[in-house]
Structure 1
Amino acid sequence: MASKTLSNSLVRHLMKRGYAQAAPARSETIQTSVLPNKTFIAGVDTNSPVARVTVAFRAGSRYEPQTELGVSHVLRSAAGLTTGCASSFIIARKLAQIGASVSASGDREFVYYTLEATQDNLQDAVEILASLISRQEFRPWELSDNVPRLKYELAALYPQVRAVDLLHKAAYRRGLGNSLFISPKRIGKISSESLQHFAGANLTAARCAVVVVGDNQDKAALVANCLQLTGLGEESKAEGSKYYGGELRKEMGGDLAHVAIALQGAPASSPASLALAVAAKALGNGPVTKWGADNSVLAKAIGNIGPFAAAGFNVSYSDSGLFGAVLSVPKDEANCAVKAVAGVLKKGGLSADAIRAGKNQLKLQILSEAEAGTSLAESVAAQGLTTGNVLPPATLAAAVEQINESTVNQALASAAQSKISMGAAGNLAFVPYVDEV
């Protein structure tokens, strides 16, 4: 019996950009260009009273030196600390006075700084944002005070997130295998100098994208100039993303086993990435109606074994990707459930009905995410840094509609030729090893 675990945004968040960074955009015209300093800028004029500004950098965890693993997590966590212009208290007070907010997030490729403010107060808010990005000082005593926050963030991680993180480590080892989160043993070990060096090497003009949702690209250019970024940003190179396959397991106890299992997918620049995104939706993502039954491909393969949750996912990076499923299941049923999911992945084919449903669900996701201003800004920034081009939603939806059954099954067959990777967390007493599936 399928549970409602996937009805919330937890596991779905893991697959947020599962359609190969081909990010959605609203029907409004998206203006894009590249500044002389190589910064990518984009503007989406929505006539909204609220403006969203996202400044993204190629500074995700894959760019971390092996001697400084976790530095990108600390960088995200340090957003809002004292800068060369103001203390953290003054920054928070100014943002509150103008009704603005700034958040920092990231993935394996990018770090995002996102500002939300009313149009009337946008200029003042942008000045604060520019200070947060380009005038950071990383004072040692403030980093020490930030340690409890890092510990809390690690303690609050869902086991499904841990499983997906372990999956990447098993699949790629380094580069894309670098964890999104700092190791508990590394907390407090990242020095101010290390942070300053990482920021100086990666938060540079050529590695930057500025997106404004709520105004045109002229405003984005003004924001980019306000940042006063320097350097070409070629100091830090990404570790090669060679796919190895394998498994990593983290015994955590409890009554459930959480397993992420995947094959090698396709990079964002490959047409197969969109086909695999359709296939991921076709595999299933939990019940689509409240209190309804889960009739997805994964649910049928697992069968009536008790409460469980299973969802297909596809993540495509600039040079590689993963296609697979995330499973949460009672520990006693883990053996047959994991083998059933692995069997679906290795089968390398889906029915026409499942593919048709996957296409419709993917189109809905693309167009729905275009309605969220913050998601839209971050997605356009990621697309600009990945491909240098932004596709409007109609174009992307049309591309999804044109995908046929043979294209999807061909992409699945190609993925099925690769080794299986697996990450598992929870009670693993009955979780089979990867060579047993």
Structure 2
Amino acid sequence: MASKTLAAPFIRHVTTRGYAQAAPAVKRDLRVQSAVLPNKTFVAALDNGSPVTRVTIAFKAGSRFEPQGDLGLAHVLRSAAGLTTKNASSFIISRKLSQIGASVSASGDREFVYYTLETTQDNLQAALDLLNNIVSNQEFRPWELNDNVPRLKFDLAALPPQIRAVDLLHKAAYRRGLGNSLFIAPKRIGQVSSESMQHFAGQCLTPSRCAVTIIGDTQEKAALIAQNLQLPSGGDGKAEASTYYSGELRKEMGGDLAHVALAVQGAPAGSPQSLALSIAAKALGNGPVTKWGADNSPLSKAIGNIGPFAAAGFNVSYSDNGLFGVILSVPKDEANAAVKSVAKLLKGGLSADSIKAGKAQLKLQVLNEAESFSSYAESLAAQGLYTGSVKSPADIARDIDQISNNDVVQAVSNAAKNKISMGSAGNLAFVPYVDEL
């Protein structure tokens, strides 16, 4: 029986307005505007008339840019957002943000680090001053880095085993660069120096590696935000290309479940092959689409009736590489047959009906994420840093429609020619090794 552990919620509670006043009209002609400033900073804006403004400042400062002798810097950088800067203490920053009802969060992936501000229109300028301070004037004082150690330990302790499996998958597939973990190693916690952080920030948080996006205001505002950032020059070098090697890493954690991530080499971001593989990932399956409903996806059929399990296809694309595969959580006793079945499916073909369903599900995801605007500013920043331009959700939906079944089959066939990589965590007593697949 398939579980919804890895599936996005389908049915949501709907609230109704209980006010007599009519809701404000929503702008119909919504187009994303973008430009590259003279200092090579990418800016983009979507003026949708929302009373809440979201601003994301992103940098090419993900874990792939960490020096091999000093891994974990990107995780510490994300965790240190909001600490004391040159102009304000952490207490002042948090107090002023709370007084104006704004919030700043830091997140990241293997390529980018995102600083995202959410605030109301009437408090935008005050919130932007604080965001600028958080991004531009970081000091990484040694005693504050020491005080931040419990937060890093909590981040590691709270990691779901599925995330651990995917992290191990990247390490097995790429070894270095994209293989660098998103998270600092336990033995490195408390060992990262202030000087290392200052050097990493000075190399990566620069105008030419920056994108500024805003939802709820104009492109001119985004350009003004970018121009006001006090960033050091330099650090324009590109990351070393990550080579796909294939391999396997396992982490025995005990328990009743085995969590396995299988993948083959995918395609870089912005390429038609990447979009085709994203369709294929949805076509493989993402769990039941109704609560307690049956899962008729190819993944579910391949695994069979083995008891409760969760399985979902995924496709991740980076600037120069990618991974296409499946994440699977199964009872430990059933792991051998289930993993072998998934590996066989990963190298097999997809039916026309499953590809049609995959296209519909991917379009829904793209349009739904843009509708919520919660992570849309980060998505625009990533597009800009990857390709130097942005596409609206409607444009992406049209691109999905233009991908033919043959394009998807060909992309999967090309990916399947590469060796399988595997990362696994949990009770691995019956999980086969990658050379047995």
- Tell me the TM-score normalized by structure 2: 0.94
**Displacement after TM superposition at 1:222 (Å):** 1.2
Please tell me whether residue 213 in structure 1 is matched to residue 215 in structure 2. Answer: yes
What corresponds to 1:86 in structure 2?
88
Counterpart residue number, 2:2: 2
Deviation at 1:229, TM superposition (A): 2.0
Partner-residue secondary structure (3-state), 1:67: coil
| Aligned residues between the structures | 419
Instruction: Name the amino acid aligned to 1:42.
Output: A
Quick one: which amino acid aligns to residue 289 of structure 1? T
Please report how far the alpha carbon of residue 367 of structure 1 lies from its aligned counterpart in structure 2 after TM superposition.
Answer: 0.3
Question: Pick from 18, 37, 40: which aligns with 1:38?
Answer: 40
How much is the aligned-residue C-alpha RMSD, in angstroms? 1.1
Alpha-carbon deviations, 1:174-230, whole Å to 9, x = none?
A: 000000000001000110000000000000000000001000111001111221223
The letter for the 2-side match of 1:375 is S
Aligned pair partner of 1:61 in 53, 60, 63: 63
What is the alpha-carbon distance in structure 1 between the residues aligned to residue 385 and residue 7 of structure 2? Answer: 31
Kindly state the Cα deviation for residue 8 of structure 1 after the two structures are TM-superposed. Answer: 4.8
Counterpart code for 1:238:
A
Give, in angstroms, the shift of residue 331 of structure 1.
0.3
Structure 2: distance between partners of 1:390 and 1:319: 18
Q: C-alpha displacement at 1:413, in angstroms? A: 0.6
| Aligned 8 A contact 2:137 2:230 in 1 | no
Aligned to 1:252: 253
CA–CA distance in 2 between the matches of 1:419 and 1:27? 46
Measure the CA separation in 2 of the matches of 1:74 and 1:283: 36
The 8 Å contact of residues 83 and 135 in structure 1, kept in 2 or not, is answered as: yes
Could you list the per-position Cα deviations for residues 326-377 of structure 1 after superposition, in whole angstroms to 9, with x for gaps in the alignment? Answer: 0000000000000000000111x10000000000000000100001223110
Find the residue that maps to 1:230 and give its secondary structure.
coil
Higher relative contact order (CA 8 A, sep 6+): 1
Once the two structures are TM-superposed, the CA of residue 238 in structure 1 deviates from its matched residue by: 1.4
> What is the identity, as a one-letter code, of the residue corresponding to 1:343?
K
CA deviation profile, 1:96-151 (whole Å, cap 9, x unmatched): 00110000000000000000011111001001001101100100000000000000
What is the deviation of 1:234?
1.4
Q: CA deviation at 1:27?
A: 6.2
Q: 1:27 to 1:281 in 2, by over 3 A?
A: farther
Please name the residue that 2:289 is paired with.
Answer: 288
2:420 maps to amino acid = I
Per-residue deviation, 1:29: 1.1
Give identity over the alignment, percent: 73
Q: Secondary structure at the match of 1:430?
A: coil
**Distance in structure 1 (CA, Å) of the matches to 2:206 and 2:336:** 48
Report if the CA contact (8 A) 1:52-1:116 is conserved.
yes
- 1:163 matched residue in structure 2: 165
CA contact (8 A) 1:54 1:212 kept: yes
Which runs of 5 or more residues in structure 1 are unaligned? 10-25
Alpha-carbon deviation of 1:269? 3.3
Q: Output the CA distance in 1 between the equivalents of 2:33 and 2:231.
A: 22
1:382 corresponding residue in structure 2: 382
Runs of 4+ deviating beyond 3 Å: none
Residues 1:268 and 2:269 are matched in the alignment? yes
Given candidates 142, 149, 152, the residue that maps to 1:150 is 152
TM-score if structure 1 supplies the norm length? 0.94
Counterpart AA for 2:335: A
Any idea what SS the aligned residue of 1:154 has? helix
